[in-house]
């Protein structure tokens, strides 16, 4: 599997998202994914599943050096002391001394970004996190982090799929050589019913979802973390990597409406 190199880490382009997975079901899903060959697992303190993720990692025979683990600090914990407490709790639940990537999960209107990133950098210097990044940041917020603060951002994790245009953020990230990690890459299942994607899939004996996922992963500097609790779905997502889309396919996908947002940013600032 291809990896993205960013800020000293190597992140597999296809990972497993764990949002809304809980308890034994979460542990079983992560164990299944690791057995299939996944090496990129994404979690967050807000998901309340770091403990079962940690249990699955501990039970796995995969060496720690082969794994990429991302977790995130919630927007309510963006003061220096709170960030440290949140990471302490996350590491304990994950049964790890270090995470590969630690993200600001959501922006906060009250955050002092200089203090936030200074704290995250200290955690990196202390080798408790290997790299730092953000999630759900607009271009305006990215400019604050990257240009004003000068933070070494390893990625921006945002909603991105064939049905939602993220070209503005994507162009900014590409110009700064910062990867985009796509959550909801299958538009929460909506892509499965799309006739255009299904038609393209027939050419490759593939599903509409596999076509949508491969379209994302074909983008330079883009990774994806589809949530998949069943082994069959996890394997199908892996098998999407075998598809080779052509220019005709890409033109058909480009013509699809790009206005279907699945996750409401809610309290996140709408600066753009």
Point out the residues that are catalytic: 47
Q: Which residues contact 190 (CB under 8 A, 6 or more apart)?
A: 163, 260, 262
């Amino acid at each position: 599997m291809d990896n993205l190199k960013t800020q000293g880490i190597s992140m597999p382009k296809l990972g497993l998202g764990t949002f809304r997975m809980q308890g034994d079901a979460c542990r079983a899903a992560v164990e299944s994914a690791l057995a299939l060959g996944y090496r990129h697992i994404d979690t967050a303190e807000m998901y309340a599943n770091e403990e079962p993720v940690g249990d699955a990692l501990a039970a796995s025979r995969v060496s720690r050096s082969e794994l990429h683990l991302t977790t995130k600090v919630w927007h309510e914990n963006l003061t220096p002391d709170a960030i440290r407490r949140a990471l302490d709790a996350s590491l304990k639940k994950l049964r790890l001394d270090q995470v590969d990537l630690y993200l600001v999960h959501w922006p906060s209107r009250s955050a002092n970004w200089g203090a936030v990133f200074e704290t995250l950098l200290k955690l990196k210097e202390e080798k408790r996190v290997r790299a730092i990044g953000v999630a759900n940041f607009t271009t305006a917020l990215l400019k604050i982090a990257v240009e004003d603060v000068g933070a070494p951002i390893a990625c921006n994790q945002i909603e991105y799929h064939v049905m939602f245009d993220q070209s503005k953020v994507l162009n900014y990230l590409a110009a700064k050589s910062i990867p985009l990690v796509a959550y909801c890459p299958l538009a929460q299942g909506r892509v499965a019913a799309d006739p255009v994607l299904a038609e393209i899939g027939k050419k490759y004996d593939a599903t509409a979802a596999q076509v949508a996922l491969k379209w994302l992963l074909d983008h330079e500097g883009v990774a994806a973390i589809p949530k998949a609790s069943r082994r069959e779905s996890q394997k199908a997502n892996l098998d999407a990597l075998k598809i080779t889309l052509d220019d005709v396919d890409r033109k058909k996908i480009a013509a699809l409406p790009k206005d279907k947002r699945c996750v409401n940013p809610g309290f996140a600032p709408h600066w753009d």
